Amino acid sequence: MIFTTCLCTDQQGTINTKVMKQVYVLLISILCLCSSMIAHAAGSQEIPTSNPLVNSGAGDPGQSVIYFKANGVDPVWSLTISAYQIDFKTQASGFESISAPHVEPNKAMDSNIKMYRVQTESGQMDVEIAKMLCQNEGSKERFPYAVTIMIKQGKDTTFTYFTGCGQYVTDSRLEAHWVLSHIKSEPVTASQFNDTLPNLSLHANGNSFTGYCGCNIVNGHLFSERSLLRFTNMVYTKRTCPTKAKEDEFIKGLEFSTNYAIDGDQLTLSNYYGVTLVFRRIE
């Protein structure tokens, strides 16, 4: 940084020392501010430490967990998507299985359609997932998402279409009984909840849960997609309890949680603002 200075004089050409002192004070302030900004920028470039709220890294068990499945019957095909890779298989003549690294989807403006675009050595595959009721032509089973797969191989000039149905799959690692250990960063004790800590039984296969809040019973549904986890359609009993302050905090934690992470026997729920609830797995 280069500063250009000039001598400050009065009308008789004499150096005005008062003005010069003000100029030097201003220059020193600017230099201190710049040094602070540079130090802050350098500090912000440090590699962050491990964050328990984020499932990341190829070594994370969560990376191999399949979070979306789809299939079709005419021709027969199947699709699985995990945070690690996308796999497509079909019995259609002339089409080989496709296995490619996971890519982030593009979302349509209405947020009801997601598009994954995969480039392979043999060509291109686009996977479109639309949130709409879909019925399997063979089994007549209904699914919440319609799936269209478009594949262009080698010298093909047009896409071949595969249509079917799919659904998001709740992480099987959630299938357990979990007991509350923290609300945000604060440890909790049984004495704060009528001598029994709140707990949840999560049912990944049925996308549902049941739980004890410290006085009242709660149950509802789960929605899971990758690191997203939401507790929906919650129904509570309405018992009158002597202490409900912590129970209310626990219920709000469930209602406002949007993400999860599993680290060993610990389940951490969070949202945009940080940790909401922390549980430990029990047998």
For 99-151, write each residue's pLDDT tens digit: 999 999 998 776 789 999 999 888 899 999 999 999 988 778 899 999 999 99
What pLDDT is stored for residue 44 in this prediction?
33
d(CA 173, CA 67): 12
d(CA 79, CA 60): 22
% the chain with pLDDT above 70: 77
- The 3-state DSSP class for residue 235 equals strand
What pLDDT is stored for residue 62 in this prediction?
55
What pLDDT is stored for residue 1 in this prediction?
43
Contact by Cβ (8 Å): 279, 267: yes
d(CA 230, CA 176): 16
**Confidence class of residue 250 from pLDDT cuts 50, 70 and 90?**
very high
178 forms bridges with which residues in the sheet? Answer: 200, 281
**Confidence class of residue 209 from pLDDT cuts 50, 70 and 90?**
very high
pTM beyond cutoff 0.85: no
Q: Which residues of 18-49 are buried (b: 16+ CB within 10 A; e: fewer)?
A: eeeeeeeeeeeeeeeeeeeeeeeeeeeeeeee
Of residues 110 and 240, more confidence is placed in 240
d(CA 40, CA 274): 23
d(CA 38, CA 51): 26
Q: What does the longest C-alpha to C-alpha distance in the chain come to?
A: 101
Closest CA to 182 of 267, 53, 279, 282: 279
Measuring CA to CA, how many Å separate 10 from each of 4, 18, 26? Answer: 20, 11, 20
**Confidence class of residue 262 from pLDDT cuts 50, 70 and 90?**
very high
